[in-house]
Amino acid sequence: MFNELLSKSGLSLDRLESFCLVAEAGGVTKAAKGDPARQSLFSRQIKELEEFFGTELIRRKGRGVVLTEAGERLNVIARESFGSLADFQSECKSRPIEVVIGTGESVIQWLLMPRLEKLRQQIPNVRLKFLNLPTYEAVARLADGLIDFALVRSGAVSRPLVVSPIGSLSYSLFLPPSSEARQDRKSVATLLNTLPLATLEGEGSFRSELAELGKQHGIKFNIQIECPSFPLAARAVVLGGVAAILPTIAQDDLREAGVRQVQIPFLKSLEREMCLASNARLIRIRPILERVAAVLMRMCRF
């Protein structure tokens, strides 16, 4: 079956590993980390792979490289094969199998961490690895087979990735423990116009949607603190005497710190349908992922 493939020299696990390292780093020099000997080795091994397959795998672009269409395909095949072999080795040696989940810091801290002990009990032979990734990067890495699952907005995922809904991510206003602001609905506009707020930095989708809501309801948000993540904005609420509009899944964590939650009807437009995204190709070659997916779906619904 494999006689023709293996009868010619030039193909080896070592060469495929070097190719994957160069593909991930985006260049031979970066993959070699400044080591001239490794740089020469990587270049030679990739050339040997190109001769073996009879096609160009990488092209120079500026100071780095990009993969050709054939290179992209080989990169996926090699990574999936290495993943399957690593799982097999771990199973044979009774070692935990690594499963990588990409998602935002909010989901890691407020959805996954509170369920971590039960997750570990349900999948005891698995070593979970959480990567804090923006949605677009988590989806891209999942499509490329670089991570095993992504917990992201449903609308950000497209075929051939598989989407399994887990719930709606809603938002509430959270007041610091020291706040004496009234919480009745009639004072919402006044409340939001006067309260010092912590929120996300930059001009991402959340900030844009929040600004649009402010225009619609005559509110000029008094933003005093900008943070790179919602959990850090939550820390500002606890320690800095500011309020914040945060994912409602933060409520249990913040309630223990004396933070008060205010549900504001017009924040409903910020809701995001969330999903567990998976790669059917990976699940097909890594059987452990099907069991992990079932556990995640059962325990991470909200």
Q: Strand, helix or coil at 69? A: helix
For 129-145, write each residue's pLDDT tens digit.
999 999 999 999 999 88
Q: What is the pLDDT of residue 24?
A: 87
Q: What is the pLDDT of residue 187?
A: 64
Q: Identify the residue whose tokens are 């939650």.
A: 261
pLDDT band at residue 160 under the 50/70/90 scheme: very high
Percent of the chain with pLDDT over 90: 68
User: Which of 76-81's residues contact partners 24+ apart within 8 Å by CB, and which partners?
Assistant: 76/144, 76/145, 78/16, 78/17, 78/19, 78/20, 79/20, 79/144, 79/145, 79/146, 80/145, 80/281, 80/282, 80/285, 81/16, 81/285
pTM: 0.81
For 256-285, write each residue's pLDDT tens digit.
999 999 999 999 999 999 999 999 988 988
Full set of structural domains in the chain with CATH: 3-75 (1.10.10.10), 97-168+273-299 (3.40.190.10), 171-270 (3.40.190.10)
* Residue count (the chain): 302
